[in-house]
Chain A
Amino acid sequence: MSLIDWFAARRKDQFVGKVSQDTDEGDGLWVKCSECSQVAYRKDLISNCNVCSNCGHHNRINSDERINIIADKNSFEEFDRSLSPTDPLGFKDRRSYADRIKESQAGTGLRDGVVTGICSVNSMPLALAVMDFRFMGGSMGSVVGEKITRIIERATLENFPILIVCASGGARMQEGMLSLMQMAKISGALKKHKEKNLLYMPLLTHPTTGGVTASFAMLGDLILAEPKALIGFAGRRVIEQTLREKLPDNFQTAEYLLAHGFVDVIVKRKDLKDTLTKILKIHGVKELAKTNI
């Protein structure tokens, strides 16, 4: 082996080693922030809602962690757990959709990319749908559409406000046009909710794009967003490559949308529950009797 080969091999090993370290988030007591490289004790990071204490970077969190931040302890009652995706088109790209479903289910313990239910926030009721980006990029197929529609219908029936935590790459291509139709289905359910003068808020988290942006993410009476979250209709690369337009650095961030009038308020994760509580109170949401939950 020549010296050059030896260096090449060593670089390759280093590279592989680094990647596996990054993706292996399960173990390790220490975590390095992907934004500012500050090293933090994992438990500290978790107790800080997975937000870097140095730079304030909001790490992605899963649906369970999100529910724990929002809901009063043990108040979350999950609905429609038993809904699972099927493969209506027999879709196969480089891999079959059926395989992708199974892999995502095994990896996340979820049936599909959204968890829905009702909880209380400082004793006030809130219907909740939390998208989980781990499940095929939070993409919206029939199950996501159906579960969100059902929770909206339930909230409409029981006069509950709704919060939908968005985290999605858009419509799930593997279910073809059925996915696109979920956008209309959910928007229709939101229409009925709105007609009863009930409060609907989406919380836009990183990332909220495509078909989700072009439907329920933008239909909030009040639209909340997490700091620096990517929010947009078309992908940045699509706009850059096909249309050759120069884009500002903060393009499609929560702050950018706020400046252009499409987000009401940017909420830091640690303030989320407080902010929700204030909003619910101001909108006259009554506290539940203790026995109800």
Chain B
Amino acid sequence: MAKRYLLDFEKPLVELEKQIEQIKELARDSEVDVSQQLLQLETLAARRREEIFKSLTPAQKIQVARHPQRPSTLDFVQMFCDDWIELHGDRNGGDDMALIGGIGSINNRPVLMLGHQKGRDTKENVVRNFGMAKPGGYRKALRLMQHANRFSLPILTFIDTPGAYAGLKAEEQGQGEAIARNLREMFGLKVPIVATVIGEGGSGGALGIGVADRLLMFEHSVYTVASPEACASILWRDAAKAPEAASALKITGKDLLKLGIIDEVLPEPSGGNNWAPLDAGNTLKEAIEKHLNALLQMPEEELIEERYKKFRVLGKFIEANNIEEIYSEIPQKTE
């Protein structure tokens, strides 16, 4: 197995794993029966791992969400279907490798799948631009979604981006316009859309393929309005406060479920999706099946109307004429 990439809070597990390896080696070379000790240590390691991953802080979840071995869009596509054909190009002079899409079928149901694609190492990441799509990527996505709309293919999107690419060319080609258009046009698609935040959902770059009938999120995925690093340097004037910003911004599945923004949090294997990618694939496949089954029951018009309503109700505000009333309703935080 390739060397695992360890996160800093996973370090306590390293010692245990080393011991397990040593005992295994010992057992190979001798007649001594070590299965008892081995079992004990493995149980202990599993329990430790579970403890650690049950109580991750939002900042730690970001690390898990960005784990280089976390299953990516193409990993899920491979797990889901064997008739996948990737489709390329925005028909406008480019093909963005950071946002990919194609057709295939899941359990004999034809679908369109698209999502951000990060790389595993530096070389891949240069090609994939770290999963940061350019305007062409969003335009390709829209082209494919409109194609799916014509041929009644349900749309599955996989969100995994630090954010839309910020650069000279991206601005010139209208990054804002490309995302904005997707937001508007996705409201008019007559096919069901299920979006899943499989890693990190970075702001507008995530939302650009995230206007969906169902929005799912893995347990250790995060979805942010601005990266905690950026938020910390703007509001705290100190980028080192990123962990505090991560907590304050409410970016975890649990928080977003409470705010009514997402529909379901998908559990991850202990240790995160990178520990057992196939389990993660099964979890996601089952969830997608379930939601698609429900959505495909709905007539087209109802589907579109429900999608509108889903976003229409988001937002928290007070409607009151008396300003004093308002002040008394704003929770006072004392510290």
Contacts and interface: CB of A to CB of B under 8 A. Distances in A.
Contacts of A189: 312
B316 interface: yes
A61 to B, nearest CB: 23
Most buried by A among B172, B224, B236, B245: B172
Contacts of A252: 171
A21 B280 CA distance: 61
Interface string A218-230: 1100000000000
Contacts of A90: 331, 333
A120 interface: no
A216 interface: yes
A278 interface: no
Interface in B299-331: 307-308, 311-312, 314-321, 323, 326-327, 329-331
B47 to A, nearest CB: 33
B175 A86 contact: no
Contacts of A143: 315, 317
B159 interface: no
B311 A180 contact: no
A261 B177 CA distance: 11
B318 A102 contact: no
Nearest to A153: B312
A141 to B, nearest CB: 8
B311 A191 contact: no
B236 A93 contact: yes
Interface stretch (A32-40, A43-51, A77-85): A77-85
Range of interface residues on A (Cβ < 8 Å): 35 or more
A80 to B, nearest CB: 8
B311 A173 contact: no
Interface stretch (A7-15, A68-76, A241-249, A264-272): A241-249
Interface in A147-199: 149, 171, 173-185, 187-192, 194-195
Given A142-B317, A175-B316, A190-B184, A233 B170 contact: yes
Interface of B: 164, 166-168, 170-177, 179-181, 183-185, 187-188, 203-204, 207-208, 210-211, 223-226, 230-231, 234-237, 241, 245, 248-251, 256, 259, 261, 307-308, 311-312, 314-321, 323, 326-327, 329-333, 335
29 contacts: A84-B318, A91-B249, A93-B241, A94-B237, A96-B333, A102-B327, A145-B315, A171-B203, A171-B225, A171-B226, A173-B226, A173-B235, A175-B225, A175-B316, A176-B250, A176-B259, A180-B225, A184-B211, A188-B187, A191-B187, A191-B188, A210-B204, A211-B203, A214-B204, A233-B166, A233-B175, A234-B164, A234-B175, A260-B173
Interface of A: 80, 82-94, 96, 98, 101-102, 105, 111, 141-143, 145-146, 149, 171, 173-185, 187-192, 194-195, 210-211, 213-219, 232-235, 238-239, 242-243, 245, 247, 251-252, 260-262
Given A173-B225, A176-B225, A180-B225, 10 more contacts: A83-B317, A98-B332, A173-B234, A174-B235, A177-B225, A177-B261, A188-B184, A234-B171, A239-B167, A261-B174
